[in-house]
Structure 1
Amino acid sequence: MNRIIITLLLALAPLFSQAQNFEKYENMKDVDAMVMTSKMFKMLAKVDLSESDPEAQEYMKLIENLDRIQIYKSSNPDVMQKMATDVQAYLQKGSLEELMRVKDDGQNIKFYSVPGKNDNYVKELFMYLQGSNSNKPMTVILSITGDIDLSQLSKLTADLKVPGAEKLKDANKKS
């Protein structure tokens, strides 16, 4: 009986760990990481902003509908290879659809999404960047989950200073 339970748990483990694929990078020595959770977004949404500033109100509307933002960046070749392998596995498992690809200034950037309630919204936006910055190799993984309005998202990612995220402005024009 115990063998059956252990076998079942091992078989189901990949289903539960899919969202966990990238969290292992948080504590790695050569990885810059930032993870924001829904609790942080709820706190930010309570910030008292001027109601006369429509841009600030749109920004607040965007962040209160987010669940999680994860950003992992590394220039270590071994870590970059592990990231590439994990991204490939993640893309094969999930229901992500390619949104766009950009090759620009020594960077290959790919955006993927999980469709949302309509064409302007996604449930997940995933970005994978391979390239260099100041002649230094770099890999960046960005995952944003929630009820995401693509028309507002480029403002948020620009504020986070995520390499490659400025290309999101073009993604919204294509959708």
Structure 2
Amino acid sequence: MKKSILIVMAILMAPVFGNAQSFERYEKMREVSAMVITSNMFKLLAEIDLDSDDPEMQQYINLIENLKNIKVISTENTGIGAEMKQDFNSYIGSSSLEKLMSFKDDKKNVQFYSKPGSQKNYVSELLMLMQGEDDGKPMTVVLSITGDIDLKEVSKLAKDLEVPGAEELEKVN
């Protein structure tokens, strides 16, 4: 009986885990740029002996300590971009993410989804899809950030790291 329950649970959970991993396949594609920052990197950054008397630096340290993962995947290839959009929509459909906002601006369509976090203005996952043109070229960007994310601070970090789509992230606040 226990074995049957475990098998049923595994079958029910497979689509969730399968979709969550669907963006990883793009990291190895030739026509895709990818940046992945893991919790290990954030831990290393938090341990650097920085001037913690500086309020702005302290804000960064607090934000970094609570992040688990940042993934940015982008492409100018319209075929791959269409696949990324399809995977994005599949993930949204199978997860508990809620629409945070969407807008069309300057030849770009942008969608933000999130999961509630530990407190007000915090989310545990932030997912963005941007499609449109950048300097006259087609562009698709998927941004995924997980952790205990302060929405007010994450846009500043994304901008400083020069993450594609960071200017759209500022509009969430």
Q: Same fold (TM over 0.5)?
A: yes
What letter corresponds to residue 118 of structure 2 in structure 1? K
Per the alignment, residue 112 of structure 2 pairs with 111
Shift of 1:122: 0.2
Q: What is the aligned partner in structure 1 of residue 158 from structure 2?
A: 157
Structure 1 match to 2:138: 137
Q: CA deviation at 1:119?
A: 2.0
Contact kept, 8 Å, 2:158 with 2:166, in 1: the verdict is yes
Q: String of CA shifts for 1:74-132, please: whole Å, max 9, x gaps.
A: 01121111101101101101111111112111111111110112221000011100011
CA contact (8 A) 2:16 2:95 kept: no
Q: Give the Å deviation of 1:168.
A: 2.6
Residue 126 of structure 1: aligned partner: 127
1:18 paired to 2:25: no
Contact (CA 8 Å) 2:15, 2:94: kept in 1 or not?
A: no
Unaligned segments of structure 1, at least 5 residues: none
Aligned to 1:166: 167
Aligned equivalent of 2:31: 30
SS at match of 1:55: helix
State the alpha-carbon separation in 1 of the partners of residues 141 and 19 from structure 2.
Answer: 18
CA distance in structure 2 between the partners assigned to 1:42 and 1:49 by the alignment: 13
Q: Is the 8 A contact 2:70 2:143 kept in 1?
A: yes
Distance 2:58 2:163 in 1: 22
> Once structures 1 and 2 are overlaid, which stretch shifts more, 125-134 or 100-109?
100-109
Calculate the TM-score normalised by the size of structure 1: 0.89
1:19-39 Cα deviation digits (max 9, x unpaired): 212011110111000111100
Cα distance in 2, alignment partners of residues 103 and 150 from structure 1: 21
For the residues of structure 2 that align with 1:155 and 1:148, how far apart are their CA atoms?
12
Shift of the alpha carbon at 1:14? 1.7
AA aligned to 1:34 is M
Partner of 2:102: 101
State the superposition RMSD in angstroms.
Answer: 1.9
Q: Does 1:60 align with 2:64?
A: no
Matches within 5 A, 1:3-14: 12-14=13-15
Q: Using the TM superposition, give the Cα deviation of residue 170 of structure 1 relative to its aligned residue in structure 2, in angstroms.
A: 2.8
1:9 CA displacement: 5.5
Change (3 A) 1:118 1:12: closer
Q: What residue is the counterpart of 2:82 in the other structure?
A: 81
TM-score, normalised with respect to structure 2 = 0.90
Count residues with an aligned counterpart.
Answer: 169
Q: CA deviation at 1:164?
A: 2.7
CA 1:8/1:114 → structure 2, altered by over 3 Å: closer, same or farther?
A: closer
